[in-house]
Structure 1
């Protein structure tokens, strides 16, 4: 199948983050086996979602991983010209949810797979496709935990997030959490008889915002914009009516951490502020929503130099968005970002990728295979 035909098939699966993904996993697994590769389905603890590992070549020697996620963000935003889950061609543009982020890369890897499987690979190429990346890289840790039983430790991982086919060596880490505060309800005319959860949360938020501003004082990494770690609250909800003392309030917070800084540790102070409310009679809960580490690969790393040779382009020092690459690096596998498309097209109506970008990515993967077959 041509790369655009495979992409059309992948787009038809509405594999929205947080939803069951058995349909797309089954199709890719069947395709991989028909291409002559070994496909292993790795169910996640949720019970209705799975990761997938497809291997071309010998599994017992070190090779390379091509990493991508099968999930996409929802397509409910206004502005779509046609069904987002049906591929639409507009000249050289192929439009649909996930074309750039990141089913385009998956299609390129699958289009190259028959050639890889038919080659006399001395080192393997693994296609590692995960679930729920868009929820904070929730699926790939389970894949990484299973990897030692499935193959020799890989030499490196290429994470195919959209980068205009220019390899990227670093991104920030991230952690997100949901804060719950429970007080006591009552009539607003007697605030002394209630316990206002919104007021308590407001104090936590105010202290956290001050703390967040202190992060602007460093440490710094000039490869990023902004060059420091950051904090923000993105969602706050609570209360029923203005004359009812609100007994519940919820807030979602995230931090973005430069390389060398733990995202979870950045949230430690905020967590302490939340739990201090217990002394005032409130009930509180801290839910970690997601966490993944930063990526930082040296320019002189073998994987970085390999990508220069494969793409014909110098590596970029960093991007602002996050990927699964930091988790691969944390697991002891060198990782780098390189994929077709542009991140500015992702999560928007009429998301698209260009046919030439797909062909360039497929060529890069086939060239990698040719090196491993030499």
Structure 2
């Protein structure tokens, strides 16, 4: 549905959100339909659009600009992918937007197609302004797999625009800006032993037992992280380690020849997440001396975000939202990657992270309205 406002033809936020939710753009799957629709919409409203296909070949990032590309502007950043929605507890089709009072239900409404819808709904009005500084839309893929898509977009930025003055990452924060989050790294460990009958363990190499030793050492190491370094802005205020998945073996009477485990670490500001994994990798590699083969696969990694409280972007967000930015949140985002590339970044978006990744995910109409106002207010500040 389109409505005219001040002579500018626009689409409502809810209309766009319904379209976006209707694309089952699950992480790790091809995303051409949603990229094509967003790209066509942006072109229709006068944006300069670049589609950046990732190395997978079947999914892409999208970058769109309103205003002069050769001047520093601001990025509105979000991801187009969502987590799967296979839980039986959903009250209705998760890929059909459903309204109930002030709530709009559907997979990705909070995380984070609500923010994308607000940015796209504001585009017609922004395009009608004479922007002195540009607004860029940076929409990525596979954020839910450890921010795999956005590094390719960030690497291309020098060819797409002048170095941005800042980036607003629209992850769900109930429209309160956030200055920091922890960094994260995850790895998959594999131990390969030798199978045989369980009555003769002396003739085999039990991969599960070997992995159990690695995990025991990893857990003890994770507990030592509780001794610091500390950053009291976070909960918990120290870095952490978790073994999230383990699998191996075929039957109780067969010596298991393979075992896999997925481990993640989350580091406070100033601590490299990948460096936190090195002691675990050393324990795994030590198994080679006992006759085992081992494999280490880096699954994902992104740095912490830490924006100085005196940064101009903090002042800008304070003005745009009317609230003091929060010091930190526990979840991670693409913001740390933008900051690592030399772009001041901050989190601010509609929705609540507590509603994400669960059945009957929803966003509130009032949150969408507040986000839409914030984006339009940003454009007004950048207009001549």
Match of 1:161 among 171, 174, 183: 171
Q: Give the deviation of 1:238 after TM superposition.
A: 0.4
Q: Structure 1 residue 230 and structure 2 residue 245: aligned?
A: no
What secondary structure is seen at the aligned counterpart in 2 of 1:186? coil
Structure-to-structure mapping, 1:208-357, within 5 angstroms: 208-357=218-367
Instruction: Work out the CA distance in 2 between the residues paired with 1:81 and 1:108.
Output: 25
RMSD of aligned residue pairs (Cα, Å): 0.5
What secondary structure is seen at the aligned counterpart in 2 of 1:321? coil
Q: Structure 1 residue 147 and structure 2 residue 157: aligned?
A: yes
What secondary structure is seen at the aligned counterpart in 2 of 1:53? strand
What secondary structure is seen at the aligned counterpart in 2 of 1:276? helix
Specify every segment of 5 or more residues in structure 2 that has no aligned partner in the other structure, as ranges: 1-10
Q: Structure 1 residue 365 and structure 2 residue 372: aligned?
A: no
What secondary structure is seen at the aligned counterpart in 2 of 1:187? coil
What secondary structure is seen at the aligned counterpart in 1 of 2:94? coil
What secondary structure is seen at the aligned counterpart in 2 of 1:267? helix
Q: Give the deviation of 1:118 after TM superposition.
A: 1.2
Instruction: Work out the CA distance in 2 between the residues paired with 1:55 and 1:117.
Output: 10
Deviations 1:123-176 (A, max 9, x none): 000000000000000000000001100000000000000001000000000000
Instruction: Work out the CA distance in 1 between the residues paired with 2:127 and 2:243.
Output: 47
Aligned to 1:204: 214
Structure-to-structure mapping, 1:55-74, within 5 angstroms: 55-74=65-84
Aligned to 2:62: 52
Instruction: Work out the CA distance in 2 between the residues paired with 1:203 and 1:366.
Output: 56
Q: Give the deviation of 1:241 after TM superposition.
A: 0.8
Aligned to 1:42: 52
What secondary structure is seen at the aligned counterpart in 2 of 1:366? helix
Instruction: Work out the CA distance in 2 between the residues paired with 1:261 and 1:57.
Output: 38
After TM superposition, the score normalised by the length of structure 2 is 0.97
Instruction: Work out the CA distance in 2 between the residues paired with 1:79 and 1:273.
Output: 41
Instruction: Work out the CA distance in 2 between the residues paired with 1:231 and 1:180.
Output: 18
After TM superposition, the score normalised by the length of structure 1 is 1.00
Deviations 1:264-304 (A, max 9, x none): 00000000110110011100000000000000001111001
Instruction: Work out the CA distance in 2 between the residues paired with 1:79 and 1:198.
Output: 34
Q: Give the deviation of 1:101 after TM superposition.
A: 0.1
Instruction: Work out the CA distance in 1 between the residues paired with 2:310 and 2:31.
Output: 38
Instruction: Work out the CA distance in 2 between the residues paired with 1:136 and 1:77.
Output: 22
What secondary structure is seen at the aligned counterpart in 2 of 1:207? helix
Instruction: Work out the CA distance in 2 between the residues paired with 1:117 and 1:33.
Output: 11
Match of 2:21 among 3, 11, 23: 11
Deviations 1:349-373 (A, max 9, x none): 1110011110110110000000000
Detail structure 1 runs of 4+ shifted over 2 Å in the superposition. none
Aligned to 2:104: 94
Q: Give the deviation of 1:78 after TM superposition.
A: 2.0
Instruction: Work out the CA distance in 1 between the residues paired with 2:68 and 2:220.
Output: 54
Match of 1:179 among 177, 189, 192: 189
Aligned to 1:105: 115
Specify every segment of 5 or more residues in structure 1 that has no aligned partner in the other structure, as ranges: none
What secondary structure is seen at the aligned counterpart in 2 of 1:54? strand
Number of matched residues?
A: 374
